[in-house]
């Protein structure tokens, strides 16, 4: 099959949908398909996105994508963001309409408004695309947007390359990175990988950290961290937190940590949570994270009902700061590896591609 993968950015260091798009293109090629990643930003970007604002660049990308698709013949067009035409719509950030309606500040964000407008037109088209839902959480979000076309909602739970995300080599990476951070071997280390730090719950994590037993928090991010450094100082956490730049290969960081912390307000199906579980890390996240449907609360970590329960978050952290309890949950997380495999994800996706072609 010849497949077009539409993603505005294709920078794997950004994680999330961007890293997924790059990995998916590579995996599909490995399975014998001709997969073209059509992106405007990141290594290998091949479509222009001219404009002085983010909204202007998005509109430019839509025009360039439409022009490309009018010239090239694809069996399937698989889009990771709202576009004007596609066969499969794979909204990694969840519904743009829902985000625009529920977050008041988005009303003043022209790019978010355009995302919602393009998504609404796409969904209202009777000949519009099938919607790939990363989790039950996202399927529930889209269900009221397609009241007469529930059959268009196709489940596609995220997957990870369990051969790549393997705990092997843990001792070496653990020793090296903890040395870099000045962390003793017996000090518990939590890891957070996030770009939108406010939405992903770093503020709540720091507030819970101030109440919990002592541990060290490592945050991988591309975002500016000065406000959180100031908060950490105010809470008396100086020396207990390390901010490190985002990386295309976070595996050494998973190996150096004891558990993963992501008290997010909204995450369709966090890949970093699935990667952490595959690497044997218990996870603390929330019911607003679709990835947590694979977890059992108290077995593979903790699924908090809300990120704002700071005391409850601190209690969960304290459990995972106990080596025996953390070790038990780590072994349970490793048992999930076969359920997290990208192979299942790819096989399901290929079935959906064939469904599109046969339609």
Q: Tell me how far the alpha carbon of residue 187 is from its chain's centroid.
A: 28
- φ and ψ of 25, to 5 deg: -60, -45
**Structure tokens that stand for 301 in this block:** 């970590």
Query: What is this structure's pTM?
Result: 0.87
pLDDT at 105 over 60: no
Angle, CA of 227, 264 and 217, to the nearest 5°: 55
Give the contacts of 297 (CB within 8 A, at least 6 positions apart): 303
SS3 of 284-326 = EEECCEHHHHHCCECCCEEEECCCCCHHHHHHHHHHHCCHHHH
Mean per-residue pLDDT, 217-239: 95
- In this prediction, residue 95 carries a pLDDT of 92
- Express as a percent the part of the chain with pLDDT over 70: 98
Of all helices (H) and strands (E), which one includes residue 280? none
pLDDT, tens digit, 9 for 90 and up, residues 27-38: 999 999 999 999
237 pLDDT tier (thresholds 50, 70, 90): very high
pLDDT at 116 over 90: yes
């Amino acid at each position: 099959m010849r497949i077009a993968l539409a993603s505005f950015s294709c920078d794997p260091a950004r994680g999330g949908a961007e890293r997924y798009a790059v990995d998916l293109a590579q995996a599909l090629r490995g399975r014998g398909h001709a997969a073209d990643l059509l992106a405007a930003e990141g290594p290998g970007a091949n479509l222009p996105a001219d404009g002085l604002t983010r909204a202007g660049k998005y509109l430019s990308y839509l025009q360039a994508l439409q022009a490309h698709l009018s010239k090239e013949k694809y069996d399937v067009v698989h889009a990771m963001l709202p576009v004007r035409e596609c066969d499969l719509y794979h909204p990694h950030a969840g519904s743009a309409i829902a985000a625009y309606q529920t977050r008041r500040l988005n009303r003043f964000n022209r790019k978010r408004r355009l995302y919602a407008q393009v998504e609404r037109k796409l969904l209202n088209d009777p000949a519009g695309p099938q919607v790939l839902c990363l989790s039950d959480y996202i399927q529930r979000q889209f269900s009221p947007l397609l009241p007469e076309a529930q059959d268009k909602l196709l489940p596609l739970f995220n997957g990870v390359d369990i051969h790549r995300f393997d705990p092997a080599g843990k001792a070496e990476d653990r020793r090296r990175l903890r040395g870099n951070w000045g962390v003793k071997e017996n000090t518990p280390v939590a890891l957070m990988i996030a770009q939108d730090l406010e939405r992903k719950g770093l503020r709540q994590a720091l507030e819970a950290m101030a109440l919990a037993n002592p541990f060290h928090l490592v945050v991988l991010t591309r975002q500016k961290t000065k406000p959180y450094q100031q908060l950490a100082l105010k809470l008396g956490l100086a020396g207990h937190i390390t901010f490190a730049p985002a990386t295309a290969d976070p595996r050494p960081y998973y190996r150096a940590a004891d558990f993963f912390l992501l008290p997010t307000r909204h995450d369709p199906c966090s890949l970093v949570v699935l990667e952490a579980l595959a690497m044997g890390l218990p996870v603390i996240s929330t019911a607003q994270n679709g990835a947590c449907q694979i977890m059992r609360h108290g077995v593979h970590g903790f699924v908090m009902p809300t990120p704002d329960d700071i005391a409850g978050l601190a209690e969960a952290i304290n459990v995972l700061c106990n080596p025996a309890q953390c070790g038990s949950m780590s072994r349970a997380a490793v048992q999930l590896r076969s359920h997290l495999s990208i192979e299942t994800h790819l096989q399901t996706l290929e079935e959906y591609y064939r469904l599109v072609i046969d339609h």
